Chain A
């Protein structure tokens, strides 16, 4: 799992970093993005580019977004 912590970075850096990292994923790799907000536009980018994602919020209000390009991976079971 590739970790990308974008907490504290100003717009649009987190979005650009996350999408760039997503396009470099291979096979069953999973990108785990940690962010202070739910990056809604990123989800559209991921799905339009034939990827899938799962987002969840922890008890401290931090968002964890898992992304992959492998259709067979069940991201919810990888949830952090």
Chain B
């Protein structure tokens, strides 16, 4: 009856996670519309519409999913439940959503005052999230995924703080000498410290568990986050001190991530039981996209071609989206099944039927086609709206999958029959 690191009955209510997940397709559809309507502006670095799209994607799609997942991960892996999880998650979601809407509006409609509102709402929601979860990751059980979650949350906090400083600059329409350094630090901590670190932490946990592979090496698991953290700290210091050879720290990160890609692909190829699963396709595709991103970025450091930088950013975004979509195909059915089963409903369907494989395969096909068009559009602008249509369909299907899963859950909750366990019989 004893299990180290787990206190029972601590999984958060299903609404906590699904609230964040259900918001993802909404922001994804807005992002897709921008790709369809404003392709030229999107591919123009630092254009306000491009910044709108980037934040819609990395906050509205990627971070929204990751924050939702964190509520589940912390409760299951962290060993300690989040206090008042329903109310706290609602506050965070509301402020985060309103803040993101303000930020995107501020860029899109060029309303400087909206940057202040965005800074207050987004900054407070993220600081609140970090102060809520981060202390729970210390003082209890310690494992490698938990270390990755710590780095991810600290990085999110740093990203948010740099973001607030930049938002104030945009509001005042005055940019100091350090603006470029702050901007680079903002996206470095966001993309590597927050997004990549959390995905690596998740991989350490789920690749072995879900797909019955050999585990990642102990040295890798122990040191990956240390190397990432050290590289980011040194890069930030170098940026603000304007020291030379800044690219060395990017190279450290790139080598580590290439090691992660190779190890993950090898693990997936060496699976003991090769059961067909769309989530594995997404993981494999994600690793391929991360590799494209790393190669493009390394080439960009060599010859400073803007196109290579754009390819690197797009493929990094697609890598994170691939992993998130792959994980959602696993997490959403699990949550529905788990919460119905824990309430003892007889009609609880098996997980594989909650989101049918056919719809998941369609999701993957849409992702593959849209990604291809998005990457090629860097060289053929006309293809970006086509990619936008693909992403529109992808996010619409994702929304449909999520809504169907929620409706199934609520339907069984309202009409289902429960076990009568004490009588050792079934009602």
Contact indicator B9/A44 (Cβ below 8 Å): yes
What residue in chain A is nearest B351 (Cβ atoms)? A12
> B-facing mask of A20-53, CB < 8 A → 1, else 0?
0001011100000000111011011101111111
Known: A8-B272, A9-B273, A43-B3. A50 touches B422 (CB 8 A): yes
Interface assignment of B22: CB less than 8 Å from any CB of chain A: no
User: Chain B's nearest CB lies how many Å from the CB of A77?
Assistant: 12
- Which B residues lie within 8 Å of A10 (CB)? 210-212, 273, 275, 277
Q: From residue 398 to 426 of chain B, which have CB atoms closer than 8 A to chain A?
A: 419, 421-422, 424, 426
Contact indicator B338/A50 (Cβ below 8 Å): no
Of B1, B76, B272, B341, the contact of A19 (CB 8 Å cutoff): B341
- Which B residues lie within 8 Å of A26 (CB)? 424
Known: A8-B272, A48-B9, A52-B1. A16 touches B212 (CB 8 A): no
Q: From residue 299 to 348 of chain B, which have CB atoms closer than 8 A to chain A?
A: 330, 333-334, 337-338, 341-344
Give the distance in Å from the alpha carbon of A41 to the alpha carbon of B272 in the complex.
23
Of A16, A23, A44, A55, the contact of B11 (CB 8 Å cutoff): A44
Known: A12-B351, A47-B8. A41 touches B338 (CB 8 A): yes
Known: A9-B212, A11-B209, A16-B351. A69 touches B272 (CB 8 A): no
What residue in chain B is nearest A57 (Cβ atoms)? B4
> B-facing mask of A47-74, CB < 8 A → 1, else 0?
1111111110000000000000100000
What residue in chain B is nearest A53 (Cβ atoms)? B1
- Which B residues lie within 8 Å of A44 (CB)? 8-11, 342
| Beyond A40-B76, A75-B1, 8 extra complex contacts between A and B, CB < 8 Å | A10-B210, A10-B273, A41-B76, A43-B6, A48-B342, A48-B343, A49-B421, A50-B421
A-B contact pairs, 9 of them (CB 8 A): A8-B273, A11-B209, A16-B351, A37-B209, A48-B344, A49-B341, A54-B1, A54-B2, A69-B421
